[in-house]
Amino acid sequence: MATTWFVPTDFPTINSALADPAVVDYDTIRVGPGVYNNATEGGPIVITKLVQLLGAQAGVDARLRSAVPGTESIIEIMSGSGSIQVNRENVVVDGFTIRNNPVGVGINTSPLFSGYWIFNNIIQNNAGGIYLNSNTSTPDTTFSQVKFNLLQANNQAGGGAGGNGIYTDMGTQNLYIESNRFEVHTPAASINFAAGSNAPPAAPPPPPQRNIVIANNQMVNDNSIALTFTTNMKITENMMNNTQGTAIFIAGGTTLTEIEGNRITNSTGNGISVNTVFTTTPVPNAAIRAKNNSIAGNAGAGLLVDAGAYNPTPRRLDATNNWWGSPSGPGPIGTGDEVVDPDGVVEFVPFLSSDPVPPPPPEPVIVPSVPRQASTSTTTFAAASKTAAVLAAMSGTGTLAQDIGNVNAVWPEIHDYEAPNNATLFGSPQIVWADLSLDPGELSYFAQAFAAPSIDSHVVAATVFADNAHRLYIEEYDAAGTLIQSITPPGGLNDGSMVPGSSLTTDAAPPYNWQRLRQYTKVFNPVQAGSSIVITVEALNYVTSGPINPAGVSFVADFLRVSG
């Protein structure tokens, strides 16, 4: 019966688990959160047994993860042809972050085996993403699958697969590449089938690249799907936007290529290019069918077929029933993206008069939830109790705090850099107090409020100065002033003793608490639509007798959320 092993509980490292005779075929190795690097592993992770290698995020879609430190199993091997090298059939690699290999790819699969499952991995900042070869010695090998991964910026200079998200040049077959996200592989390609590239068609023939499905992937600000000497290729329902070059680059020797239901928009080059540039002796492509695609807004042609690059003898290039960005059809007969066909081998009529592929949802961006909340004499209310300050801030009526300035010229001040800032998250706070009398031993409360803009996830980042001790509260209240939730810990965030006069023992040596700036960051969700988020600072002037000791408070709090 198969056994589940745990790293670092049962074995201190991944390689020690893989090498131990007790770990046998069909076992599972679960790897806990942490960083596994050259120092701990001694080199690349080498898999020669039929095992499941599961990271801390196994089963969690890498495209949706936030990669919070302490929750990821991070492979950071800076040597070898691949950080993880898979040399056995039917191996599963699931739930890792694989990063920062300057000379190799994140995952390297052997051309001697097949049936690889590569799921739910974040693969970034390596020389290449995945070097994806498999056994092609017989046509009936097990399908390999690459799904739910995030591949981004694998552009380091080393390695033959450099600048590619997925690369193969030793042959592969029976392969699904589905539901992945590719970003910023600008030197080369998102997915590059390069077997036979820059080689003549004479013997030995290029290794097979056949029976491959590329489906439901997102390529954003990335590069091409590049095909050379492929057979029976299906490219379907992918979103390719802002490609830095041509979105689909068919570069010679291909046959039986199906391109269906894709969204190919805003490329800096062509939407689809058919050519022979990756074959030393030109080998034309054959049997291409491209239908029901949305091809629009590309800087070059929608479809460019170089002279001599397509063999129409098996069948003409079928590009009918596509949307070219205009109901009038593609150029030169309409105003949509152009079809360039010097040999007259393309059929593109009839064309679609409307877009068959719905646009993708907008890319998530971080935006300010509300303008910066900063202490000022026009927005911050002062009161002798926390309840009174909160209600005054929520209603917008009550006693406003006074701008007292840096009265003793020694307090730290919070200022924006003198550089372009976000126009919404901009503005330096004033140093305020309840009044100008500055009574010894005085305890005051300062609050301001805003309406929660949504119940989506938010981030608050706050910076506070106070002379002397203080507590910070960030809370959600309903319209009646009833507390819904404490965003800061219940009881507030405390800095210094809130007992008058205690500074003689608790704050008796520099740096004094009035010399410090305090910071706080928290992710939270407002609970109730239409509620109020209230920032309250409770501040105490320590000195209880003798000469008046100035007291002051200043704070900024920025609230952000993900839009789209």
For residue 524, the model assigns a pLDDT of 92
How confident is the model over 287-307, as pLDDT tens digits?
999 999 999 999 999 999 999
195 Cβ partners below 8 Å, 6+ apart?
168, 169, 170, 171, 172, 206, 207, 208, 209, 228, 229
Contact 235/262 with Cβ under 8 angstroms? yes
Question: What structural domains and CATH numbers belong to the chain?
Answer: 4-187 (2.160.20), 365-563 (2.60.120)
Contact 231/311 with Cβ under 8 angstroms? no
Q: Is 66 exposed, middle or buried (0-12, 13-18, 19+ CB in 10 A)?
A: exposed
**pLDDT one digit per residue (tens) for the chain, 564 residues:** 899 999 999 999 999 999 999 999 999 999 999 999 999 999 999 999 999 999 999 999 999 998 888 999 999 999 989 999 999 999 999 999 999 999 999 999 999 999 999 999 999 999 999 999 999 988 889 999 999 999 999 999 876 678 999 999 999 999 999 999 999 998 889 999 997 665 555 556 778 899 999 999 999 999 989 999 999 999 999 999 999 999 999 999 999 999 999 999 999 999 999 999 998 889 999 999 999 999 999 999 999 999 999 999 999 999 999 999 999 999 999 999 999 999 999 999 999 999 999 887 777 788 898 999 999 999 999 999 999 999 999 999 999 999 999 987 889 999 988 876 777 778 899 999 987 776 667 889 999 999 998 888 899 999 999 988 899 999 999 999 999 999 999 999 998 888 877 766 667 778 877 788 999 999 999 999 889 999 999 998 876 655 556 788 999 999 998 776
Query: H or E segment at 35?
Result: strand 34-37
- CA atoms within 13 A of residue 399's CA, in its CB half-sphere: 15
For residue 67, the model assigns a pLDDT of 82
Model pTM?
A: 0.76
How confident is the model over 80-121, as pLDDT tens digits?
899 999 999 999 999 999 999 999 999 999 999 999 999 999
